[in-house]
Structure 1
C-alpha cells in the first residue's frame, strides 16, 4: 500500500507531492508549483507566467501551491489577493487541487469562497485550527491535510480529524523530518482505522477531486 504524502518539503520521495516552488523536479517526481505568499512581490505576475506554463505542460505537477494568504509575513493584501485569484483560476481550469497556505487570513478565504463561482478544490495544508472554522468551510470545496499536529495530544488537528467527513481528509509531512507513515499511524490511532485503510482513503479522495490521478 502506498502511503501518499500530499504536501512535503522533502525532495526525492516517491508517492509524494513535493512543494516545488518554481521548478518541476528534473527526476520527474510529483510536485506542486505556485507562489507562496512569502515570495510575492510587485513582479509576481512575471514569475507566475513562467510557473503557469510548467503547470500546464507537465502532468507531474499534481497541484498548484502552496499559495494563499499570510498577514504575518506576506506583502500587502492587494498583491496576495490578486496572486491567489490567478492561481486558483488556473487550478479550476485544469481541474487540479490548490494547496492552501493560510495564516490569519481565513476571512480573506471566506470572502473569496462566497463571491467566486469557479472555485477549485482547495486543500488547506497543515490544518490545526478550531473545528468551528472547519465546519464553516464544509459548504465549499475545501479539504483538510493533517500533519505533525496529529501527534500532539488535544490539538485542534486531532479534534477536527475525529469530526471531519472522511472524504475531506489528506495527510502530509510538510516541512517536518517525519516519515509519512508516522502521520498515518497517528491518524490510525485517532480514527480506529488501519493505516492501510487510511492510505486507500487518501488515494481515493485525491482521485475524486483531481484530473491528474494517482495510485
Structure 2
C-alpha cells in the first residue's frame, strides 16, 4: 500500500524535536509521499530544506491568508524567484485562498490571491486552496483566473453541490479527518456521492484531528483512518481506494512514479 498525504504542515514545531522519528512513523503506515504547504516567507526556506533531506517529501510555496501580513507585496518578487529556481520537489503554489472568518482585510486577501494566481499561470503549477466562509467569492475568483493546472480544494467540509462546483473547475477535493466524525453529515454525504476520481487524502497535521484523537496533535501516520472511513463510505475495499488516491495525488501534482 502506498499513500500520499497531500496536505501536512510537517515543518511545524510539534514535529521538529525528533523529525526523523516522526517521518518514520508515517512511513511505517504506508505514507510514502507527503506534501508540505507553506504559510508564508517565514517557512519557505524551512520546508525546502526538509524536502531536500527526506525522500518522498514535496512542498508548495505561497501566502496563507491566516498569516498574511500587510507588507506581503515586498515578498512577491522573492516568491517568484524561488519558484523559478525550485526543483522537482516544488509541485504547487499555496497554501493560498480566502478566509472570511479571520481579522485580515478581504481586499488584502484577494490581492494576495490574485498575485498567486498570476504565478500559477506563469509557472504552470496547481494551487492548494484554503477556503473558509468564502465559497462563492473564491469560486468566482478561480473562474476569472483561468488556472492552467487546477489544484486541490483543501480541507473540504461543504455540500455535494459545492464540491461539484470545484470539480467542474478542474479541482480535486481534499478529504481529511472531518469524514471520521459521524455528525459531519453534510460532508460525509458529499464525499460518499463524489466519484473517487475527484478525491485526494490529507491530514492537515498537526491540525484537523481524527475521531478518537481529539486534543492531540494530528499526525500523517493517521491518514490510514481517513482512508478506512472513505472505503466504508464508498463500500469498497481500502486497497482499491488507496490505489485510486495514489493515482489522483500524483496526477494533480504532476509527479512521475
What is the TM-score when the length of structure 1 is the normalising length?
Answer: 0.88
Which of 78, 91, 95 is 1:50 aligned to?
A: 78
Contact 1:150 1:157 in 2 (8 A): yes
1:21-71 deviation digits (Å, cap 9, x = unpaired): 323331313122211101222211222322332233222122211110011
Q: Find the aligned partners of 1:93 and 1:165 in 2 and give their Cα distance.
A: 31
What residue is the counterpart of 1:133 in the other structure? Answer: 162
In the alignment, which of 191, 206, 209 is matched to residue 161 of structure 1?
A: 191
Equivalent runs, 1:26-175 vs 2, <5 Å: 26-27=49-50, 28=52, 29-58=57-86, 59-155=88-184, 156-174=186-204, 175=207
- Cα deviation, residue 214, structure 1: 4.7
Q: CA deviation at 1:154?
A: 4.8
Larger Rg: 2
Question: What are the superposed Cα offsets for residues 189-214 of structure 1, whole Å, 9 maximum, x if unpaired?
Answer: 11122333222212322343333x15
CA change 1:34–1:2 in 2 (3 A) is: same
Q: Higher helix proportion, which one?
A: 2
Q: For residues 118 and 148 of structure 1, do their structure 2 counterparts lie closer, same or farther at Cα, with a shift above 3 Å needed?
A: closer
Instruction: Assess, with a 3 A threshold, how the Cα gap between structure 1 residues 55 and 195 changes in structure 2: closer, same or farther.
Output: farther
Shift of 1:89: 2.4
**Structure 2: which 5+ runs fail to align?**
12-18, 24-31, 210-217
Q: Deviations over 1:111-167 (max 9, x none)?
A: 213333345413111111122222333321122001001101152331111111222
3-state SS of 1:123 partner: strand
Contact residue 113 and residue 119 of structure 1 kept, 8 A: no
Are positions 1:25 and 2:43 aligned together? Answer: no
| Equivalent-residue separation in structure 1 for 2:244 and 2:152 (angstroms) | 15
Distance between the aligned counterparts of 2:188 and 2:256, measured in 1? 26
Aligned residues: 214
Pairwise CA RMSD of aligned residues? Answer: 2.1
